[in-house]
Amino acid sequence: MANASLPQHAGVRFPPPLLYVAGIAAGLGLHRWRPLPMTAGTSSARVAGAVICLLAYAAIFFSALAAFRRARTTIVPNRPAAALVTGGPYRFTRNPMYVSLVALYLGVTLLTDSWWPLVLLPVVVLAVDRMVIAREERYLAAAFPTDYRAYRARVRRWL
């Protein structure tokens, strides 16, 4: 029988990547209103930086996804977790999927050639931290009290 006081999931009611999409969209909207280009034109360094960010995103995200698959638990924050994932990239950060989305965000920002999305990135990270990660951490602390406390003591939230 399930404990009635134990939450069934983290209570995040929207896909967290939408916060990153909103930051980029707002930044591009600001860019249309008041352009703030990073470069004066096409830059191979900008494109190379974007490719590096996109590769970093893919490497981090897919290794985190693989760790979730090995643990046979969901990445969807409004579903119950079957296990606490601490392997793979979760050895270095408690939130590698959100770190990967920051890398993707930076890559897209470079490709759009606008400073505005970059200016908004701290707001996006703060929103993810408060609206998503805080809820997920409360849930994990309730669902896996001893294991999560030990994990939290040895692994940083971001990097």
pLDDT beyond 90 at 1: no
Global pTM exceeds 0.85: yes
Residue in 158, 29, 154 with CA at minimum distance from that of residue 102:
158
Query: Helices 17-33 and 96-112 meet at what angle, rounded to 10?
Result: 20
Q: pLDDT tens-digit profile of 78-116?
A: 899 999 999 999 999 999 999 999 999 999 998 889 999
Question: Could you read off the pLDDT of 107-117 as tens digits, one per residue?
Answer: 999 888 999 99
Looking up tokens 């707001």 gives 123
Q: State the total domains in the chain.
A: 1
**Looking at the domain assignment, is residue 96 inside a domain?**
yes
Asked whether residue 38 is domain-assigned, the answer is no
* 36 in a structural domain: no
What is the three-class DSSP state of 114? strand
In a domain, 7, yes or no: no
Per-residue model confidence (pLDDT) at position 39:
79
Give the residue numbers spanning the domain of 54: 17-31+43-154
In terms of residues, how long is the chain? Answer: 159
Q: How many CB atoms lie within 10 A of CB 38?
A: 15
Tell me whether residue 97 is in a domain. yes
Q: What is the pLDDT of residues 14-38, one digit of tens each?
A: 999 999 999 999 999 999 999 999 8
